[in-house]
Amino acid sequence: MRIFIDDGSTNIKVLWEHQGRTHTHVSPNSFRREWCATLGTGKAFNYIAGGERYSFDRISPDTLPTNHIEWQYSPLNAVAVHHALLTSGLMPQEAEIVVTLPLSEFYDEYAQVRTENIDRKKKSLRQAVELDKGKVFTISRVIVRPESIPAGIGLCDKLLPTHSVLIIDLGGTTLDIAMVAGQMSSISRIQGYPDLGISLVTDAVGQALRRTHMETSRYNMDQLIINRHDDVFMKNNINDPGAVEEVRQAIRQGIERLCDRGIEIIDRFKGYTHVTVAGGGAFLVADAIRDHVNLRNDRFYVADDPQLALVHGLLALG
């Protein structure tokens, strides 16, 4: 079967079709070196890849960072993809996967395809991954697509060729922007920024927590960002109740920095008639971008489910 995968640095998003229905699954990237123990009926996911032992762990502060571009080609990336497949509900089987690369890795400075990076990505995802006391998927073929562009295909198809869409895809590590003509008739400009993503906010949360003598996983930090307006959640997940406002302030400042830097980059693009915002970071920056670009309301779009917009676009591309 063919499975579409957006293997982002924060989460792996999976989409597949079965009996006329579309199914999706989101798997967080929260892994550490060495294996973990089992307890009761709980299932441990212990892997071997690239000569290293890895395990899935939501809570350990020792979880490995994935907010760097080399993660795209690492054994840990292959482990994360297999883990997402194994937790999707699908039975281990032979599969063809369609994955993505950030624009800065997929294209060079002249907007030409980096075939060496694509080949490197394919080789990385076809490396051997073992699951302790279990079976993994057999990846028979890997197809690599650019990030961001597929996320806007639904909107582009509805527009005139004289229109142009600025597709803004903000993920955990990267900001990818593409300016595409209506009907996907041409790509005017593409630009990838590999060091600007939600991790900027996550890092600010980590610093604030350490000031309160608390260590936790990046997964839990991201949950604090998502649930920052929920008083009960914040108090239950921050050891010092008196530090809740300090952490909230760090989140606010991190989001402001992310918006400012993103808008500074968006200002380098001119002539677009529509904007669509996708990616896991869309919910943090969409309002600020909307106010700044000052387009008509019917020309500014935020994906219904920004985190899954790219995999739905990959499916539309086929």
pLDDT, mean of residues 140-151:
92
Which residue range is the domain that position 132 belongs to?
Answer: 2-146
Question: Rounded to an integer, what distance in angstroms lies between the CA atom of residue 5 and that of residue 83?
Answer: 12
pLDDT, mean of residues 266-278:
94
Segment holding 303, helix H or strand E: none
- What is the CB-side half-sphere exposure of residue 136 using CA atoms within 13 A? 23
In this predicted structure, which of 81-95, 121-135, 304-318 has the lowest mean pLDDT? 304-318
Cβ pair 169, 266 in contact under 8 A: no
pLDDT given for residue 183 in this prediction:
81
Write out the DSSP string of 154-170: HHHTTS-TT-EEEEEEE
Which residue type occupies 125? L
In this predicted structure, which of 33-42, 59-68, 277-286 has the lowest mean pLDDT? 33-42
pLDDT at 224 over 70: yes
**Mean pLDDT for the chain overall:** 93
pLDDT band at 304 (very low <50, low <70, confident <90, very high): confident
pLDDT at 69 over 70: yes
The answer to the question of residue 111 being in a domain is yes
Residues linked to residue 21 through DSSP beta bridges, in sequence order:
18
pLDDT band at 17 (very low <50, low <70, confident <90, very high): very high
The answer to the question of residue 156 being in a domain is no
pLDDT at 41 over 70: no
Question: Rounded to an integer, what distance in angstroms lies between the CA atom of residue 151 and that of residue 166?
Answer: 11
pLDDT band at 194 (very low <50, low <70, confident <90, very high): confident
Q: What total number of domains does the chain contain? A: 1
Segment holding 96, helix H or strand E: strand 94-101
> Which tokens in the block code for residue 246?
């300090």
pLDDT at 40 over 80: no
pLDDT given for residue 28 in this prediction:
95
Q: What percent of the chain has pLDDT over 90?
A: 77
Encode 291-316 in three state secondary structure. HHHCCCHHHEEECCCHHHHHHHHHHH
pLDDT given for residue 187 in this prediction:
83
pLDDT given for residue 151 in this prediction:
87
pLDDT at 318 over 80: no
pLDDT given for residue 38 in this prediction:
77
The answer to the question of residue 152 being in a domain is no
pLDDT given for residue 85 in this prediction:
98
The answer to the question of residue 206 being in a domain is no
pLDDT given for residue 184 in this prediction:
79
pLDDT given for residue 111 in this prediction:
85
pLDDT, mean of residues 214-239:
94
102: helix, strand or coil: coil
Q: What's the CATH number where 115 sits? A: 3.30.420.40
pLDDT at 154 over 90: no
pLDDT given for residue 43 in this prediction:
83
The answer to the question of residue 127 being in a domain is yes
pLDDT, mean of residues 220-232:
95
pLDDT, mean of residues 135-157:
91
The answer to the question of residue 72 being in a domain is yes
pLDDT, mean of residues 193-212:
93
